[in-house]
């Protein structure tokens, strides 16, 4: 019959050796700590996600502007999205409260025509 105390002592010795051999080195995280951190969100992750979302939204605005203003005759405003001039609540607006922006549209239309003429002249000079 074996002695239970000696078996417990040997098991404790080998258990202690196993625990200390699995202990992480100085400056490293333990396996449990790294597993918990893999499920934790970090500020850098959110910053990267927000940057990608912003880039995607800007690209979507550019694409929408490109498709809505495909013809050179009807392209008036060269901004990310044409609704930028009228970004307000559509209710509780008194008569005469909104400013007529036709002169602003005409200004940007002229600017666009000038830019197109410069581009055409530059292309003609290259050929």
pLDDT band at 12; cut points 50, 70, 90 = very high
69-90 mean pLDDT: 62
CB 52 within 8 A of CB 96: no
Cα 83 to Cα 41, 44, 79, 80, 98, distances in angstroms? 35, 32, 9, 9, 14
CB 58 within 8 A of CB 44: no
Q: How many residues does the chain have?
A: 127
Query: Which pLDDT score, from 0 to 100, does residue 50 have?
Result: 94
């Amino acid at each position: 019959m074996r002695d239970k105390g000696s078996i417990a002592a040997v098991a404790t010795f080998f258990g202690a050796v196993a625990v200390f051999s699995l202990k992480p080195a100085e400056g490293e995280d333990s396996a449990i700590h790294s597993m918990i951190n893999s499920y934790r969100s970090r500020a850098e992750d959110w910053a990267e996600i927000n940057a990608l979302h912003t880039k995607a939204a800007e690209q979507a605005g550019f694409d929408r502007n490109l498709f809505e203003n495909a013809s050179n005759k009807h392209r008036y405003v060269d901004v990310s999205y044409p609704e930028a001039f009228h970004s307000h609540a559509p209710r509780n607006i008194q008569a005469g409260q909104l400013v007529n922006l036709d002169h602003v549209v005409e200004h940007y239309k002229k600017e666009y025509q000038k830019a197109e003429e410069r581009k055409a002249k530059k292309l003609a000079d290259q050929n």
